[in-house]
Structure 1
Amino acid sequence: MFDRLGAVLHRRRTVVLWVSAVALVLAGIGGLGVEHRLVHGGFSDPGAQSTHAQRLVTEHFPSSGDDLVLLLRGDGPVDSPAMVSAGTELTRRAAGTPGVRAATSYWTAGRSPALRSRDGSLGLVALSLSGDEDDRARTAERLVPDVRRHARGVTVMAAGPAQVQSEVGKRTGDDLLLAEAIAMPVTLVLLLLVFGSAVAAALPLVIALLSILTTRAVLNALAGTVSVSVYSMNSTTALGLGLAIDYSLFILARFREELRTGATVREALGPTVRRAGRTVAFSALTVALSLVALLVFPQFFLRSFAYGGIVVVLSAAAGATLVLPALLAVLGHRVDRYDVFARLRGPARPAASPESGRWYRFATAVMRRPVLCGGGVIILLLLLASPFTRVSSGLFDDRSLPADSQVHRATQLLRDRFDAGAPGAVPVVVRGAGGGLDAYARALSAVPDVRQVTTATGSYAAGRRVREPGPAGAALAKGDYALLSVVSPVEQDSAAGTRLVRRLRETAPPDSARVWVGGRAAEVEDSTSAIARATPAAVGIVVGSSLVLLFLFTGSVLMPVKALVLNTLSLSATFGAMVFVFQEGHLSFLVGSPQHTGTLDATIPILTFCVAFGLSMDYEVFLLSRIRERHLRTGDNTESVAFGLQHTGRIITAAAVLVAVVLFVFAISGVTLLKLLGVGLALAVVLDATLVRAVLVPSFMRLAGRANWWAPGPLRRLHDRVGLREE
C-alpha cells in the first residue's frame, strides 16, 4: 500500500488538498455546538448498587434527596422573623422550578436541628432534582442564579453534587479556551525552534486543526446516541495537537532528510511515505488499540476518552500520511523558507556523518557501560514509583475545585458547621421488610461508626429505639419500600466511609427483603470496585495488542517484551509521582497547589495508563523503525542502535517536549482532575522520551545483542507471511 502511495499523492496532490479543504470545512460545521451536547458526570457505575439506590430514593422518597443544597445566611439567626420569611419564600420558589421534585428546608420541615448550623447562623434548603446527572447539573445551573436574584436580605450559597457538576462544567470550558490560547502560540514558537522554517513549523498545526475539527464533528454526532463527557473535549484538543505534532515531525524530518541526499521532490516522497508514513500508520494503530481498552469500563467518563481519542489518533495519522505529503508535494524545497533563526545560527554547516552526531556518541557511550547506565536509571524509576504503594483511591468531588470556589466553600461549611449526616446521610433502601423493619433498623444502628438510624418506625441508636415515629416518618415508607437514613460522624469521602458502607452491606436484612445502600461513600466503593474488575481486561487489551503489533513490526519476540517492561517502569514512576504530589501534597506548589484529600481519583491512573502507554509505544515504534531499517542493511546490532538514535533522538525529544508542553498547559486548570491528568501524561511522556528511549533502550539492546531480533521458527515464518518487511 505504502510503496506507491507517495507517487500517487504527488500526482494527485491538488485533488487531495481540495478534498481535505472541503473535509475541513464540513468538520468545522459538523462540530458546531458540540460543547452544549456533552454531558456532566459519568464517574459512577450505572449498574452499581449505589446507583440503583439513588434512583429509588429519587423515585420513591424525593423529599429525602439532597442533589442540590442551598445554604442561607442573613443578618440574624435562622429563627429570626426575617430569616423565617426569606427562607420559606426561597424554599417555595425553588420547589416551583422545573426539574425540582421536592424541596425541604429548615423553615418548612419542623425546624429540624439537622438543617441548621450548630451556631444557628445558617439554614439549609435541600432539593431533590429529577433526571440523570447531566439533567440535575443543568437544573442547578438555572436555579441557583434565579434564587440569588430573588433573595432579599439573605446570602445564598450552593453545594451538593449537582452544583459541583455545574461549576466544574463551566470551569472546564473556560480552562479549554485558556489552554488553547496558551498552547497554540507556545507550540508554534517551539516548532520554529525545531525546524527554523516558518513554513515547516506551520504544517503540524494544520494537521492538528484537521484532526481536532474532525473529532469534534464525530463527538457531536455520537452525543446524539451515547453519553459523552464534557472532559473529552479537553483531552481531544491536547491529544490531537500532540499526536499531530508527533506524526508531522516524523514525516517532515524524513522528507527533509531525503531532500538533503539530492533527491527530487517526487523521489523524496517515495521513501518518506513508504517508511515514515508506514511507521506513523502503525504507531497510530498501536495508540488507538490502547485507547480501545477504555471501552471495557462501565463509566462513560472513561469511555468518552476512548471515543474522542480513537478518532483524533486516526485522523491525525490520516492527515500526516495523506494530507501532509500532498502539501509537501506542492511546497517542495519551499518547505524550508522563512528561516526566522537563520541569523542566530550563522552560515549553514555541511552535514556531519552519523558517527559524529551527538546522539550517536551518546548512544555509544551508554552501550559501553550498559549495566551501569541502565541499572542507574532503573533504580531512579523504582524510587519514583515507590509512593504508588501508598495509593488510596477516591472519586472526584467539590475538592477538585480551587479553595476559593464558591461551591467548595459552601461544602466546607456543611462539613464544619453542621452535624455529620444532615444532608449526606447514607441512604439505605429496603424492599419487602414488612414487620422486620424495626429489627433491621436496630441492627444497622449497632454497626460501628453509626450514630443514628431514622426510618418510618422511629429513630435508633446503639441497637435501641431512642425516639418513636413522628409525623415525618410517614415520608420514609412508600408501598413495599422503606428508607433508612444512617447518620455517621465519619467523612463519606474517606477510607472510614468506605468501611462503613461495607459493614452496612454485611448487616443481614429481614428475610426475603432486598437492600440497596447508597450515598457518596457507596458510590466511591462501587465505582472503584467496577474499575478494579475491568482493569485486567483493559490491561490485557493494551498489552496483548502491543505485543502482537510490535512482533508484526519487528519480527522479534524479545522486542515487544522489552517495550512492555520499559513502558511499565516509566508509567510506574509517573504513578508514584502523582501520589506524591496530588494525593500526599508534597511539592504541590509546582502545579498550582491543588487541594489534596488523601486520595487519588480512581479513574485517572487507568486513563493515564491507556493514553501514556500508547504514546510510549509511539516513540518505541519511531525508534525501532530506524534501528531495524539499519540492522537489515548492516547486521551490526550496536551500530544500528546508535544510528537509529542519531536519526530519531532529536525528533523524539522535540516531539516529547512539544507534547509535554501541550499537556502541561492543563496544569493551569482550576479543576484538579484535569490538572492531574495533564501533569501525569506530560511527566510520562518526558520520562519515556529521555530516560527510557535514550538510556534504557540502548542499554537493553546492547546486552541482548543478536537475541534482539530472534524469533522461533514458526513465529519467524508467520512474520514472513503477515509481518511488515522492508522492500
Structure 2
Amino acid sequence: MIGHAQTGDGAFLTKDGRTEYSYAFDPRQKGFIAPNQALLEHAIAVNAPTGTTGYVTGLDPLAQTTGSSSGPGVLLETILGGLGALAVLVFVFASLLALIPLAIAVVAILTTFLVLLGVTYVADISFIVQFLVSLIGLGVAIDYSLLIVTRWREERGHGRSNHEAVLAAMDTAGRAVVFSGLTVAIGLLALVVIPVPFLRSIGFGGMLIPLVSVAVAMTLLPAILASIGPRVDWPRIRKESRASPFWTRWGRLIVRRRVVAAVSAAVILVGLAIPYVSLQIGQASSNSLATTGPAVDGLHALDAAGVPRGALTPMIVLTMSGGQTAVVQRLRGVGALFDVTATTDPADARNGTTLLLAVPQQETSNADTIDVVRQVRAALSGTPPALGVSGVGPLQLDYQAGVYGNLPYVILVIVVVTFLLLARAFRSLLLPLKAVLLNLLSLAATFGGLVLFWQWGHGSSQVFGIAPTGSITFWLPVMIFAFLFGLSMDYEVFILSRIREEYDHAGNTDAAVITGLGRTGRLVTSAALILFLAFISLASGPQTDIKVFATGLGFGILLDATVVRMLLVPALVSMFGRWNWYMPRALARVLRVPASQSGA
C-alpha cells in the first residue's frame, strides 16, 4: 500500500479533509480480475469506520463493464457459439449432416487444448488463448468441415459412389482447406516474431487453432464420411446436384454489372477506411471501462473530491535508496504532473532500491496525454539515482516502440509468404496479388470501423452501453491484424479455388465466376456467419478490450465475406479476364507449377 500513512504526503488527502485515497499494487495478473480485488473490497467493508464509505477503483476494477466480477466463462461462450453454428448448419444441410462439422469442431478444440497443455510445461501461455481456442477454433473447424462436406455431397449428387465422392472432395475442397489453414497460420506469425512475450504466447497458441483444425478435417472427417456419411445425410431436403439458383443469378448480375459492382464495393471500403487515419493507439479511457458498480462510484467520489484522473495511471519510478530527494526535485519540475511522492514504508525498499510515485494530471490513455511520460523520462535523464520508470503510460510507449516500429517489416514478410503460397494454390500471378491487396484494404476498412464504433463511440453506447474509448488499446491492432489477415483469406481461397477449377474445366472466365459463386456463395456466407456468431459469443466477455477485439474480428469477417468476396472479388476477376490466369515461366519454375501465358 502507498498512501498518506506510508508517505505523509498531503496529496493523498483532499482539501476538505473528507476523502483519502491510497494505492494497492497487485502481483502479476493472470486473469480478467486483479487477484486481490475481492479481498480489498471485503477488508474495506469490514474495517471502514462507521459513517464512512470505501471503494476499490482503478483501471482493473473499471474494466468490468457491468460491475460484475466475471464474464460468462469459456464453456458457456462456446456453447452459445455452438448453438448458433448448429442453427446455420441445419439451414445449410437440412439433414443430420449438420452434426458432423460440429463434432469435428469439438474434437479439434479438445485436441488443441491437449497440445496447449503440453506447451504450458515449457512456456507461459496467456489466459486469453483459452477463449481464442474455444471460439475461433469452433468457427475455423466448422468452416473447414463445411467446405469438405458440401463438396462431398455435391459429388454424390453427380452420381459418384461414396468412396469416389470422398476422394474427389478431399482432392478439391481438401486442398483448399490446407492452403486456407496455412494462410491463417502465416498471418499469426505477426504475433510470434514480435518481442512481446504476452503476444508471442497468443501467436503460438493461435497458430495451433488452424493447424489442428486442418489435421482433424483431413483425417477424421473423411473417415466419418466414408463410413457413416450416407446414413446421416437424412432427410435429404436440400440437394447439391445443382448450384444455388440465388447465387448463380447473383454471379450473372456481377458479371453483367462488373464495373458498377467493383466501384460500389471500392467506395464502401475506402469510405470505411478513411477514419483509420485517425486511429489512436493507447489505452481505453476510464469513462469507457464501466458505467455502473462500486468501482464507478469510487471514481465519481475521486472526481468530486478534486483528484485528477491521472491518479488512475501513476508512474512508478525505481530509485536508489538515499537518492529519492534528488529524483523528487527533478520530477516536480514537470508541469504535467499532479504529485510526486516517496514512500517511507520499509516494504517498498529492497536490495538498495525504493519506489517513487509520479501522478500525472491526466490519465495516460492516448497520444494526446502520453507526452507526460516522455517529459518524465527526459527529466530523469542523467539523474543517477533514477533506475527506471514503469506504469501504464511507459508500458504503452515501450510497446509501441518494440512492436509498431518493426511491424511494417513483419507485415511485408507475411504478405510475401502469403503471396507465394496463394500463387502456387491458384497458379496465377494476378489472383494472389489482388487477394493480398484487397485483404489489406479490408483490414484498413475494419480498423476504420473500430474507430467509428469504439474510439468515436458511434455505436458502442447504443450496443454495449459503453462510452467512446478515445483510443484503441495498444495491443489490440496487431492482434486483430494477425487473426483477421488469415481468417478473411479463407474465403478468398474457397471462392478462387473453385473459380480456378471451373476455368480449368471450361476455359471461360465469366462462366467460371458464375459457377464458382453459385457453388460457394451459400457456403462462404454461412461460414462467415458461423464465425461471426462465435465472435459475438466472445464479445460477451467482461472486459472492454475483449469486446473491442471480438467486434473487430466479427465486423472484419462480415465485411470481407460480403463486400469483398461476394462483390469486389468476382467483379475484378470478370474484369481482368484471361489476365487472371497468367503465370510467368520464371515464377512457375520456382513454385513448381505449370506456366501459363493466357494473359499475354
How is 1:386-401 mapped onto 2 (pairs within 5 angstroms)?
386-395=274-283, 401=289
**SS, match of residue 334 in structure 2:** coil
Moved more, 135-144 or 661-670: 135-144
Contact 1:387 1:580 survives alignment (8 Å): yes
Q: Distance in 2 between matches of 1:396 and 1:229?
A: 20
The 3 A distance-change label for structure 1 pair 511 and 308 is closer
Q: Deviations over 1:406-429 (max 9, x none)?
A: 334434544553534667543334
Contact 2:140 2:210 survives alignment (8 Å): yes
The 3 A distance-change label for structure 1 pair 655 and 444 is same
Amino acid at match of 1:387: P
Identity of aligned residues (%): 32
Contact 1:116 1:418 survives alignment (8 Å): no
Q: Distance in 1 between matches of 2:346 and 2:561?
A: 64
Counterpart for residue 526 of structure 2: 654
How is 1:219-618 mapped onto 2 (pairs within 5 angstroms)?
219-338=116-235, 352=242, 357-395=245-283, 401-420=289-308, 424-430=313-319, 438=326, 441-454=328-341, 481=353, 485-507=357-379, 509-510=381-382, 515-618=387-490
Please tell me whether residue 203 in structure 1 is matched to residue 100 in structure 2. Answer: yes
Amino acid at match of 1:229: S
Amino acid at match of 2:396: V
Amino acid at match of 1:619: Y
Q: Distance in 2 between matches of 1:542 and 1:120?
A: 58
Q: Distance in 2 between matches of 1:143 and 1:490?
A: 25
Q: Distance in 2 between matches of 1:508 and 1:402?
A: 35
Query: Displacement of 1:586 after TM fit?
Result: 1.0
The 3 A distance-change label for structure 1 pair 128 and 175 is closer
Q: Distance in 2 between matches of 1:433 and 1:706?
A: 77
Q: Distance in 2 between matches of 1:398 and 1:422?
A: 11
Query: Displacement of 1:133 after TM fit?
Result: 3.5
How is 1:96-115 mapped onto 2 (pairs within 5 angstroms)?
103-106=1-4, 108-109=5-6, 112-115=9-12
Contact 1:137 1:166 survives alignment (8 Å): no
Q: Deviations over 1:452-493 (max 9, x none)?
A: 54569xxxxxxxxxxxxxxx5999988875655434422332
Q: Distance in 2 between matches of 1:550 and 1:297?
A: 24
Q: Distance in 2 between matches of 1:547 and 1:423?
A: 45
Of structures 1 and 2, the one scoring higher in RCO (CA 8 A, sep 6+) is 2
Q: Distance in 1 between matches of 2:70 and 2:128?
A: 7
How is 1:2-81 mapped onto 2 (pairs within 5 angstroms)?
none
Please tell me whether residue 691 in structure 1 is matched to residue 581 in structure 2. Answer: no
Amino acid at match of 2:265: V
Q: Distance in 2 between matches of 1:404 and 1:128?
A: 23
- Which of residues 699, 706, 716 in structure 1 aligns to 2:588? 716
TM-score, scaled to structure 2? 0.89
Counterpart for residue 83 of structure 1: none
Contact 1:401 1:408 survives alignment (8 Å): no
**SS, match of residue 358 in structure 2:** strand
Contact 2:154 2:241 survives alignment (8 Å): no
Amino acid at match of 1:321: M
RMSD in angstroms over aligned alpha carbons?
3.3
Counterpart for residue 494 of structure 2: 622
**SS, match of residue 187 in structure 2:** helix
- Which of residues 639, 663, 668 in structure 1 aligns to 2:535? 663
The 3 A distance-change label for structure 1 pair 441 and 425 is same
The 3 A distance-change label for structure 1 pair 160 and 450 is closer
The 3 A distance-change label for structure 1 pair 350 and 170 is closer
Counterpart for residue 672 of structure 1: 544
The 3 A distance-change label for structure 1 pair 179 and 110 is closer
The 3 A distance-change label for structure 1 pair 155 and 654 is same
**SS, match of residue 174 in structure 1:** coil
Amino acid at match of 1:683: F
Q: Distance in 1 between matches of 2:322 and 2:535?
A: 53
Contact 2:153 2:240 survives alignment (8 Å): no
Counterpart for residue 77 of structure 1: none
Q: Distance in 1 between matches of 2:80 and 2:110?
A: 18
Contact 1:171 1:671 survives alignment (8 Å): no
Contact 1:437 1:510 survives alignment (8 Å): no
TM-score, scaled to structure 1? 0.74
**SS, match of residue 424 in structure 2:** helix
Counterpart for residue 598 of structure 2: none
Counterpart for residue 158 of structure 1: 56
Amino acid at match of 2:101: P
The 3 A distance-change label for structure 1 pair 496 and 659 is closer
Q: Deviations over 1:600-622 (max 9, x none)?
A: 11222221111111112111111
Q: Distance in 2 between matches of 1:109 and 1:291?
A: 46
Amino acid at match of 1:259: R
Query: Displacement of 1:284 after TM fit?
Result: 0.7
The 3 A distance-change label for structure 1 pair 240 and 110 is closer
Q: Distance in 2 between matches of 1:531 and 1:364?
A: 45
Contact 1:571 1:612 survives alignment (8 Å): yes
Q: Distance in 2 between matches of 1:298 and 1:422?
A: 29
Query: Displacement of 1:216 after TM fit?
Result: 2.0
Q: Distance in 2 between matches of 1:522 and 1:637?
A: 55
Amino acid at match of 2:315: V
Moved more, 218-227 or 601-610: 218-227
The 3 A distance-change label for structure 1 pair 113 and 328 is same
Query: Displacement of 1:288 after TM fit?
Result: 1.2
**Where does the alignment leave 5 or more consecutive residues of structure 2 unmatched?**
596-600
Q: Distance in 2 between matches of 1:148 and 1:722?
A: 75
Q: Deviations over 1:484-517 (max 9, x none)?
A: 5434422332434311111222236347666423
Contact 2:66 2:290 survives alignment (8 Å): no
Query: Displacement of 1:381 after TM fit?
Result: 0.9
Please tell me whether residue 189 in structure 1 is matched to residue 87 in structure 2. Answer: yes
Amino acid at match of 2:269: L
The 3 A distance-change label for structure 1 pair 273 and 517 is same
Amino acid at match of 2:227: V
Counterpart for residue 704 of structure 1: 576
**SS, match of residue 370 in structure 2:** helix
Moved more, 142-151 or 598-607: 142-151
Moved more, 143-152 or 359-368: 143-152
Query: Displacement of 1:263 after TM fit?
Result: 1.3
Contact 1:140 1:166 survives alignment (8 Å): no
Query: Displacement of 1:155 after TM fit?
Result: 4.1
Q: Distance in 2 between matches of 1:630 and 1:275?
A: 11
